[in-house]
Amino acid sequence: MIFNTYETIALACLVLLLGYFLVKRVRLLSRFNIPEPVVGGFLVALILTIVHQIWGMSFTFDTDLQRTMMLVFFSSIGLSANFARLVKGGKPLIIFLIAAGVLIAIQNTVGIFGSMALGLDPAYGLIAGSVTLTGGHGTGAAWAEILTEEFGIPGALELAMACATFGLVFGGIIGGPVASFLLRRLHKQEIPEDENVDDVEEVFEKPVYRRKINTRSIIETVTMMSICLFVGQYLDELTKGGAWRLPTFVWCLFTGVIIRNSLTHLFKFKVADESIDVLGTVALSIFLAIALISLKLWELADLALPVFILLVIQVGVMASFAILVTYRMMGKDYDAVVLSAGHCGFGLGATPTAVANMQAITSHYGPSHKAFLIVPMVGAFFIDLLNNSLLKVFLSLASYLHA
């Protein structure tokens, strides 16, 4: 069954409303800060899997809409990136990037040697490592072709997509419980009180807004986002196949950064942050809903048991790393808790999942400007460069062990 654009967005919105309803009604979900899109999307994905298993029906959704929502979200991240705030990222951003790099190395080490211990080719360890977990579906698809050429792995693409799907689901599931565990370590006074929040500076931190938005601010924001998408796709086509090739969403993000800071610092124009927040959050929620209902969970059931074992181990590694390393490296405070939840999101899944994890925390306990500054920048750009650089090293190791 094929869902067109209108049907896809209608179902995605119903999924989000279902998620809001369940999180509000089921105390366990609220307690562990599970994001609403993950709750509703995963439940619908389970239902669609049951329908597939019983009646053999498959479901296809509008992936163009999903991709557009992702680009809108990253454009909104760029449009929110005031250079005056980015400078504040400074040292913590570098520390967080180092932590992310260490996790990549651990994921690939566990993957390669774990696969060998389970009797698999070490290349399978890369697929069940940072290729699909930190890298996500896009990096997984790109590296599957390389690994097929290097090692002759059959069905590498399908396996990569299944592993990335597994990571996306569990990246959204474990972020809340990890944060809840860490929050119990904090003294109550260390958690910022919600009523003292300066909502003018909130950027994707809380989906509840106090400032008014109007028709003009929405039109201004939609105009800027449209320019980001247009320029981003143009630059993607222009650099395709060259040394400057970057994912489209990165170009959209950079375009947003340039537009925002040109308007703010050169033309002294006040950008409507509240409108950017609202539209960006809506795009994020719809993207996650479509991504999750598009999951073919029966493909995960077809994973070989050793690969499944590797993925379960990687989930444990991610949770342990967030608690023992990320939290400590980032200062053992409330910001560190939110950063740890975000790291679970893009360390196993994707940056939108990381942001959803952080929103689930900040909607209950208050904003974290540092986390919402650092995670999107690292997760949307730096992590891809770092991951691909380190993967070349581990590819050489896998080739040596394969021989």
> Can you say how many angstroms the Cα of residue 27 is from the centroid of all Cα atoms in its chain?
25
Dihedrals φ, ψ of 60, to 5°?
A: -125, 130
**pLDDT the model gives residue 207:** 47
Q: Which positions ≥6 away from 194 have C-beta within 8 Å?
A: 365, 366
**pLDDT the model gives residue 88:** 61
**Buried-exposed string 345-384: b where 16+ CB fall within 10 A, e elsewhere:** bbbbbbbbbbbbbbbbbbbbbbbbbbbbbbbbbbbbbbbb
> Can you say how many angstroms the Cα of residue 350 is from the centroid of all Cα atoms in its chain?
2
Tokens of 241: 């196949």
Tokens of 100: 């992310």
Structural domain includes residue 196: yes
Dihedrals φ, ψ of 2, to 5°?
A: -105, 130
Structural domain includes residue 119: yes
Q: What's the residue count for the chain? A: 403
What is d(CA 182, CA 375) in angstroms, rounded to the nearest whole number? 18
Structural domain includes residue 33: no
What is d(CA 348, CA 344) in angstroms, rounded to the nearest whole number? 6
DSSP secondary structure letter of residue 129: T
Question: 259: domain range?
Answer: 76-270+300-402
> Can you say how many angstroms the Cα of residue 194 is from the centroid of all Cα atoms in its chain?
25
pLDDT tens sequence for the chain (403 residues): 889 999 999 999 999 999 999 988 888 787 666 778 878 888 998 899 899 889 888 888 887 888 899 889 878 878 887 776 656 667 888 899 999 999 999 999 999 999 999 888 888 899 999 988 998 766 776 677 778 877 887 767 778 877 887 888 899 889 989 999 999 887 654 555 544 444 334 444 544 444 468 899 999 999 999 999 999 999 988 887 666 666 677 788 889 989 998 998 888 888 888 899 889 889 888 988 888 888 777 766 656 688 889 999 999 999 999 999 999 999 999 999 999 999 999 899 778 788 889 988 888 888 888 888 888 778 766 787 688 778 888 888 888 887 6
Structural domain includes residue 57: no
Structural domain includes residue 231: yes
What is d(CA 49, CA 226) in angstroms, rounded to the nearest whole number? 36
Structural domain includes residue 287: no
**pLDDT the model gives residue 75:** 87
What is d(CA 166, CA 350) in angstroms, rounded to the nearest whole number? 12
What distance separates the 2 farthest-apart alpha carbons in the chain? Answer: 64
Task: Give residue for tokens 């975000």.
Answer: 342
Reduce the secondary structure of 241-257 to three states and give it as a string. Answer: CCCCCCCHHHHHHHHHH
**pLDDT the model gives residue 202:** 44
CA dihedral 139, 140, 143, 149 (to 10 degrees): -160
Alpha carbon distances (Å) from 372 to 38, 98, 331: 19, 17, 16
- The tens digit of pLDDT for each residue in 94-118 reads 899 999 999 999 999 999 999 999 8
**pLDDT the model gives residue 259:** 94
- The tens digit of pLDDT for each residue in 242-291 reads 666 666 777 888 899 899 989 988 888 888 888 998 898 898 889 888 88
Structural domain includes residue 48: no
Structural domain includes residue 264: yes
**pLDDT the model gives residue 196:** 42
- Reference 141, options 158, 124, 154; nearest CA is 158
**pLDDT the model gives residue 141:** 66
Number of domains in the chain: 1
